A and B are shown apart, each in its own frame.
Chain A
């Protein structure tokens, strides 16, 4: 079942078009930066973008900062929103369940296929932005006279290529968990309605509301529990020492959303009348 869903995901043109569009944004930004040599000042624009002109090896991190806040969650919400409701809309859900397949297994398979999409999309963004960064923005500082050069962490200490690789890998893992929380919201809504668009828009409405509340001082009491509150905490992997506080909280909050919403999806889907 899981294999079938993954194959279905991979053979769909829209999967690759989405991945392509996700990769396109950092590519276009890199072209602008390289041709104008004009990066935004620190604190403005996506994280790390101010530093990529002096060190192109940081461009994958900057690219991640570009796609994580909006584009990646939108694509995940659309995909996960479509997972069950899309089958219902297309009239295939009934036939899918005629097979000797449990509904729980179907839900798990749908979630795994979303997970594969997230990993695929982030990996594609990281690889293409790394190549773009190296080609258009340069490969970091040359070796220093007294100390080895390399990428500079946010705290000023140099990062070896191995450090940079491991921290980027950890960032991918963290962003994937955050996106799984988005997928869990959309998947739950997808079990409630037969409209894939409705499920995706519902998930996006939740995220927009969360982003709004995250900026509102009056809502400070609920901010630590908002799904988007710790989305950019992966940046803390690039501090020295790594600042684990927000990363830990982000993983915990995302974990709770994933657990509860998958449980709710299962509770609803197990007894849902399949009419389409």
Chain B
């Protein structure tokens, strides 16, 4: 109990620490208010920055389409994150491909010109680099394998790789497959991506055989550089594949960054001639592929015997011969991942449809060869292609 005189009143207060505690409480309140204010500023700053409205001039969709397609000469350097939710199982020998569509990929890109660029794929404590040189030479760096691989010449056919997921590359590639006005172009609300207000564009494929529902793309209005690309299957609201820049500078990179790691003692080094890959496939005795499958003409890799592309635009698919043991492993993995076993007249097949991507393994008993078919097409079309392939080999010598 504390007794205090109140000035001017002349009497004692017999309240327990009343005035004293009030001062203490007021001090405490002031301190906690300071903590609250600092917390509010810290928590509110990112929210406020995100809420800044985008200011961008309207660009008609067809104009933005052309702008994007003509942006290949725009240099840039940045960091992009790609997220795939295709749910594709890790297929033997194709793990790196299935990982691109079923996980996150961190990409660091430096781009000076179409023939001078570098893309690094970052992982925790690991890194893969791909360097493109002016003479068509490409250099691969694999930290885990401690290996430098030089690839000279242009491969007639290749598997998808992480560098394909950098927004400008994926955006231009997808728009290259679009056929407006058959494929519908519509404008999307602008977004702020890597601190750039970017107008959006939606491409809706018209081919009923394609599983691709839409391609959404946001690009820099000044240069047409794609900043974010989303790919969604038909009837699915969420994208199956999304790639966007988190940081971007629209400037040319330092030339020193584009120089591949030097070859030196203690680091593995190999040279591969890309056209030889096609020759190697031919030498495997894989046999010619038919000119048509499922009603689609062969359009890519026509000089090759073991691989080919069929159809054009968004509804195309690829056929790739694989070693039989690998093929069996792939088909088994696909079955475990929910694939459907199919009986062909002279072979077996497993079809795995993930909504956007369909993959099919076909083993022809007639010629004892195994093929992998894949594309952004429906399972029915791929099933038909597998049946045609099986029929093509019927009666041919193994």
Contacts and interface: CB of A to CB of B under 8 A. Distances in A.
Interface string A134-155: 0000000111111111001011
A156 B148 contact: yes
A56 to B, nearest CB: 13
A157 B257 CA distance: 10
Interface in B136-164: 141, 143-146, 148
A271 B24 contact: yes
Interface string B14-36: 00000000001001100110110
Given A47-B124, A239-B122, A263-B38, A225 B46 contact: yes
Contact of B264 (A144, A224, A232): A144
Contacts, number: 116
B63 interface: no
Contacts of B313: none
Nearest to B104: A217
A43 interface: yes
Contacts of A259: 38, 42
Nearest to A241: B257
Nearest to B24: A271
Nearest to B125: A47
In this complex, the interface size class of chain A, counting residues with CB under 8 Å from chain B, is 35 or more
A217 B148 CA distance: 34
Contact of A50 (B34, B125, B263, B264): B125
Contact of B267 (A152, A225, A264): A152
B246 A154 contact: no
A143 B264 CA distance: 9
B266 interface: yes
A245 interface: yes
B38 A156 contact: no
A46 B261 contact: no
A267 B122 contact: no
B125 A245 contact: no
B118 to A, nearest CB: 9
Given A42-B143, A43-B126, A259-B38, A271 B31 contact: yes
B32 A267 contact: yes
Given A46-B125, A147-B262, A154-B143, A264 B257 contact: no
B127 interface: yes
Given A156-B148, A225-B46, A271-B27, A243 B262 contact: no
Given A50-B125, A146-B264, A256-B42, A270 B143 contact: no
Interface string A46-58: 1111110011000
B354 to A, nearest CB: 17
Most A-side CB within 10 Å, residue of B46, B120, B126, B262 = B126
A225 B143 CA distance: 30
A50 B144 CA distance: 7
Contacts of B32: 267
Interface in A210-228: 224-225
Contact of B146 (A47, A51, A239, A264): A51
A263 B143 contact: no
Interface string B37-49: 0110010001000
A267 B29 CA distance: 9
A271 B28 contact: yes
B42 A260 contact: yes
Interface in A100-145: 141-145
Contact of B261 (A41, A149, A155): A155
Interface of A: 41-43, 46-51, 54-55, 65, 141-149, 152, 154-158, 224-225, 232, 235, 239, 241, 243, 245, 256, 259-260, 263-264, 266-267, 270-271
5 contacts: A48-B125, A50-B144, A146-B262, A152-B146, A157-B262
Given A156-B143, A156-B267, A245-B247, 5 more contacts: A42-B126, A143-B265, A147-B263, A156-B127, A157-B261
